[in-house]
Structure 1
Amino acid sequence: MNQTAGLKITARAAAELCRQAACGGEPGAMALELVPGSCEAWAIQLRAGTGEAAIARSDGITLYGHSHQLQLLQGLQLDFQSSLSGGGFLLRGGEQIRSCPCGAAFTPRG
């Protein structure tokens, strides 16, 4: 796992990001945006393409985001979990965040 802005990307997440980027016509580039969440303060949105700043790199994918949101992502890990009923990206951060059961929304602690 490589990191740029303190956000880590697991191998599973990198593989799915690469797949989605290629399907979206932007191989190797995905953009992450934090938007106000309904169950926690912030939720993640991902789309194929580039953005303002490279925030993480791993296994053939560069993840872009807004520079003013970098501090919120510091020390977090982006993972991907799949199941028979679907899958999704999860943000993990241990004691640093409170996560929604969906895993895609969080509130920083402290």
Structure 2
Amino acid sequence: MPKGHSLRLTAAAAAELGRQAAVAGTPGMMHLDLVDGSCERWAIRLRPGHLAGTPIARADGITLYAPADQLELVTGLSLDFRGDISGGGFLVRPGDGVVSCACGTAFRRIGGGRQATQ
């Protein structure tokens, strides 16, 4: 992983990413990219496999890749997974300079973070 670029994965997120990667036939590899969000600027899209990019997180046997031009936007984010009997989903946990929407699936950077449109 590039020095200074990281996204934190909770144990629950790493376990679910690992499960999804295994089911898709790409054990240990998932890809994250940012798409336009509905309630905040960015939403995270997760897909199985490497699909090009740079490794941004490693935990519990899973490596998560992202496009190089989105590294600054995901740095410092924390990705969590919450599930219950009705389903589950990945959530962005806000940190310094990050605001997430009420549902937790989209975020925006405030202050010094990059606000670029892609």
Q: Indicate whether the TM-score tops 0.5.
A: yes
| Code of the aligned partner of 2:21 | A
Q: Distance in 1 between matches of 2:93 and 2:4?
A: 17
For these two proteins, the number of residue pairs brought into alignment is 108
| Code of the aligned partner of 2:41 | A
SS across alignment from 2:70: helix
Q: 1:74 to 1:25 in 2, by over 3 A?
A: same
1:96 CA drift (Å): 2.0
Structure 2 unaligned segments of length 5 or more: list them. Answer: 112-118
Structure 1 unaligned segments of length 5 or more: list them. Answer: none
1:5 CA drift (Å): 2.1
Which residue does the alignment assign to 2:76? 75
- Tell me how large the CA RMSD over aligned residues is: 1.5
Q: Distance in 2 between matches of 1:4 and 1:46?
A: 22
- On the 8 A contact 2:76/2:95 being kept in 1, the answer is no
Q: Distance in 1 between matches of 2:46 and 2:12?
A: 15
Matched, 1:107 2:108: yes
- On the 8 A contact 1:4/1:57 being kept in 2, the answer is no
Fraction of identical pairs, as percent = 56
Q: Distance in 2 between matches of 1:84 and 1:97?
A: 29
SS across alignment from 2:34: strand
| Code of the aligned partner of 2:13 | A
1:95 CA drift (Å): 4.1
| Code of the aligned partner of 1:13 | A
1:29 CA drift (Å): 0.2
Q: 1:24 to 1:4 in 2, by over 3 A?
A: farther
SS across alignment from 1:32: strand
Please give the residue correspondences for 1:1-110 in structure 2 after superposition, counting only pairs within 5 Å. 5-50=5-50, 51-110=52-111
Q: Distance in 1 between matches of 2:8 and 2:88?
A: 19
Q: Distance in 1 between matches of 2:100 and 2:76?
A: 14
1:93 CA drift (Å): 2.3
Structure 1 stretches of at least 4 aligned residues deviating more than 4 Å after TM superposition: none
